[in-house]
Structure 1
Amino acid sequence: MASTKDEVEEERPPLETDGVPVIDLDQSPEVFIPQIASACATYGFFQVINHGIDACLVDAFRRQMQLFFSLPYDTKIKCKRREDNSRGYFDDELTKQRRDWKEALDVGVPGSRDWSLDDDDERNACLDGMNQFVPVDVLPDFRPTTVFYFNACTILSDQLAKYMQQGLEHTLDALKTKSGGDDIDVSLKKSHTSYLRMNYYPPCPPNHDDSVKEEKEEMAPLGISPHTDAGFLTVLVQDDDTHSLQVKMKGDEWVTVEPIPGALTINTGDMAMIWSNGLFKAPLHRVLTSPHQTRYSAPFFYNPGYDASISPFVPPTKDIPTFASKYHSCVWGYFRAVRFAGDLTDLGVEIQISNFLIESSEDDKSGSTNHHIAKQAEFMKQVEFHEPFSVEKYRSLLES
């Protein structure tokens, strides 16, 4: 007897490329939602096909990104980001207190949520600052194409976050428990503070080639040093013919994420790991340099509202140690501010979600708090999320 469509789909496992799953969103949700949950829990990385973002839009956006980075330096630097505005052009970012081999431009959702306003309209101010685009007479199609792509990534991220929540609920149900956390939709879809980063990685000169002796690998220049993404999830478009993105797997093995033509690469971030109480992984990843090839990529960082307090999804009963909350609540605005400050200047050890771990039941009962928990509380008393963040203004609260 012929199989039904659902029966056929249930028999079809996700594709894999070097261990990173490729998930088809054209299947029924009953099939791909468990696949997404498994990928988030096992790898923290996966690729999606049939994702709903038109290929023509992706190609047009890629072309505009390339045109921007081909502009003279004197033109790009007029959009330079500053200590009081995280949005704009830069070529001097630090990752893990180490300078990246790249140029980049950050564009984020306006504080007004209204893209029709002028970018420097005071209603667009927010913690991350204001967008800085090159003038229309320089690149007429750059801003509108970027905005169209930004909004398409937002819609896809909304859907992926919903699938992740449904997948987590399915996982918890399989573990015979119920979640007691907030609906992630409250912190994301209604008040997200996402931003899109356009990256250009020029060839690394031969004398800086990263093909050095193994014992000196840590000294080789990298496009981006090993890191986790701070937000909830990332939607990445990257060149099909340049395989530079690597994720660290179990056993400390670095595995290259080979892009599938037409696919988008997804990875979970720090906030998803806290929210899932550690069930979903925030994977460590890096970008290699090349002595010969250029590389373009654009990660869309889907982030919670600035004032969102991200807490673990845990069962209401606290008497099951396996499911006890592993993390203190983390306010996204504080975490984001400290991470941005660390991108510009060395403030000591970079903030990590491990700083929000509940160390022990004694720690929880006593009410004692660690360094970042105390500073987060003070930060929330002083911050104005509708005003651009200033590293200098909040330096005393951000330094380690």
Structure 2
Amino acid sequence: MATDFKSLPVIDISPLLLKCDDPDMAEDPGVIQVVQQLDRACRDAGFFYVIGHGISEDLIKKVREITREFFMLPYEEKLKIKMTPAAGYRGYQRIGENVTKGKPDIHEAIDCYREFKQGKYGDLGKAMEGPNQWPENPHEFKELMEEYLRLCTDLSRNILRGIALALGGSPYEFEGKIAGEPFWVMRLIGYPGAPFTNGKLENDVGCGAHTDYGLLTLVNQDEDKTALQVRNLGGDWISAIPIPGSFVCNIGDMLKILSNGLYESTLHRVINNSPLYRVCVAFFYETNFDAVVEPFDICKDKYPEGRGESQVFKRAVYGEHLVSKVQTNFAM
């Protein structure tokens, strides 16, 4: 039974990573312990910190630093990679152009998506076609981000092998037709410092309450500002206080469906109540773009009513879900 969490669990996944390519990983005591922790975190909170993930703290910091450098540039420079529908919704958006549930978010961002050949997904993928728009300034931006993307993709795949075991399947349950060719999204986000009014800090909503679309999210956030908030079952907002070198990890809508509602895609928001500018880099690991997502048979058999609900979750096509969100999330 899910509990009303007051803080997010911290999971050292290094035992899982040591055995993630071993077909017999499910029998390893260290892996079993990590799998149990992942299962509890996904049931109770849908959010957890990941440590022992193997990505260097130096690289994690560099990614935030170079992102901050870009956002400190003049608008004219940033608008060289302006996001438009014609650019496949890839590129830079100004403060207020991202909209959550009809309200402008107080952040600026660069959006990147996995690139694919024109026509690969037919009409389904047409809106998302096009190359990512990488800035020429700062130098080495593209090279650094592509290395980071590669590492985050591998890490996400391996965490999902542990989650697959937690659901009672094989380690490779998410691969093949579900996520053998995973789509990914990366958002490089800058939140202005909270403004002062009459000597008091105001709490601007940097990003309104929402759930993520895909399977798994890795959040790389500034270590000296607390802004990410997660809603628990009682409706309270719990702060995801930064832990240096960690990722905040959460599950998305597609994983909720695949687990037949057992795992929660939890509402979260961002309120930067610091006077300082905040940077966050969010990596979203998704299913195959054209995947038809419906509950795993193991979850329908093992958890026929999901989280105590009488319905089996409906199927969704990931690409349709993403495109519908993208086309309503930007004020253009």
Question: How far did 1:306 drift?
Answer: 1.7
2:58 is paired with a residue whose SS is helix
> In structure 1, what is the equivalent of residue 264 of structure 2?
281
1:312 is paired with a residue whose SS is coil
> In structure 1, what is the equivalent of residue 80 of structure 2?
78
Measure the CA separation in 2 of the matches of 1:132 and 1:290: 31
- CA 1:320–1:281: 2 relative to 1, 3 Å: closer
> In structure 1, what is the equivalent of residue 7 of structure 2?
19
Asked if structure 1 preserves the Cα contact closer than 8 Å seen for 2:219 and 2:281, the reply is yes
1:224 is paired with a residue whose SS is strand
- CA 1:36–1:321: 2 relative to 1, 3 Å: closer
Report the structure number with the largest CA radius of gyration: 1
Question: How far did 1:134 drift?
Answer: 1.4
Find 2:220's aligned residue among 237, 241, 244.
237
> In structure 1, what is the equivalent of residue 249 of structure 2?
266
Asked if structure 2 preserves the Cα contact closer than 8 Å seen for 1:268 and 1:283, the reply is yes
Question: How far did 1:289 drift?
Answer: 2.6
Letter in 2 for 1:205: P
Letter in 2 for 1:25: I
Letter in 1 for 2:93: F
Report whether the alignment pairs 1:298 with 2:300. no
> In structure 1, what is the equivalent of residue 330 of structure 2?
344
Asked if structure 1 preserves the Cα contact closer than 8 Å seen for 2:50 and 2:249, the reply is yes
Measure the CA separation in 2 of the matches of 1:251 and 1:210: 29
Question: How far did 1:139 drift?
Answer: 2.2
> In structure 2, what is the equivalent of residue 326 of structure 1?
312
CA-to-aligned-CA distance 1:294-330 (integer Å, 9 cap, x gap): 1110110111122100110245987995367612210
1:147 is paired with a residue whose SS is helix
Measure the CA separation in 2 of the matches of 1:199 and 1:56: 19
Structure 1 residues 54-203: aligned runs within 5 Å:
54-84=56-86, 85-91=88-94, 92-111=97-116, 127-129=127-129, 130-135=131-136, 138-169=137-168, 183-187=173-177, 189-203=179-193
Asked if structure 2 preserves the Cα contact closer than 8 Å seen for 1:23 and 1:35, the reply is yes
- CA 1:50–1:316: 2 relative to 1, 3 Å: closer
Question: How far did 1:122 drift?
Answer: 9.9
Letter in 2 for 1:238: Q
Asked if structure 1 preserves the Cα contact closer than 8 Å seen for 2:168 and 2:298, the reply is no
Gaps spanning 5+ residues in structure 2: where? 16-29
Measure the CA separation in 2 of the matches of 1:66 and 1:291: 16
TM-score in terms of structure 2 length: 0.83
> In structure 2, what is the equivalent of residue 44 of structure 1?
46
Measure the CA separation in 2 of the matches of 1:336 and 1:343: 10
Give the count of matched residue pairs. Answer: 303
Gaps spanning 5+ residues in structure 1: where? 1-16, 113-120, 171-178, 213-219, 347-400
- CA 1:19–1:131: 2 relative to 1, 3 Å: same
Measure the CA separation in 1 of the matches of 2:261 and 2:252: 11
Question: How far did 1:152 drift?
Answer: 0.6
Measure the CA separation in 1 of the matches of 2:103 and 2:71: 22
Question: How far did 1:210 drift?
Answer: 9.5
- CA 1:320–1:86: 2 relative to 1, 3 Å: closer
CA-to-aligned-CA distance 1:105-148 (integer Å, 9 cap, x gap): 01222215xxxxxxxx999x96523200112xx32211100110
Question: How far did 1:99 drift?
Answer: 0.4
Question: How far did 1:183 drift?
Answer: 2.8
> In structure 2, what is the equivalent of residue 10 of structure 1?
none
Asked if structure 2 preserves the Cα contact closer than 8 Å seen for 1:312 and 1:327, the reply is yes
- CA 1:211–1:159: 2 relative to 1, 3 Å: same
Give percent identity, aligned residues only: 30
Measure the CA separation in 2 of the matches of 1:96 and 1:208: 29
Question: How far did 1:345 drift?
Answer: 4.6
CA-to-aligned-CA distance 1:194-253 (integer Å, 9 cap, x gap): 0111111011322499967xxxxxxx6300000001111100100111000000012110
Bigger fraction of residues in strand:
2
Measure the CA separation in 2 of the matches of 1:334 and 1:102: 26
Measure the CA separation in 2 of the matches of 1:287 and 1:87: 22
Runs of 4+ more than 3 Å apart: 207-212, 314-325
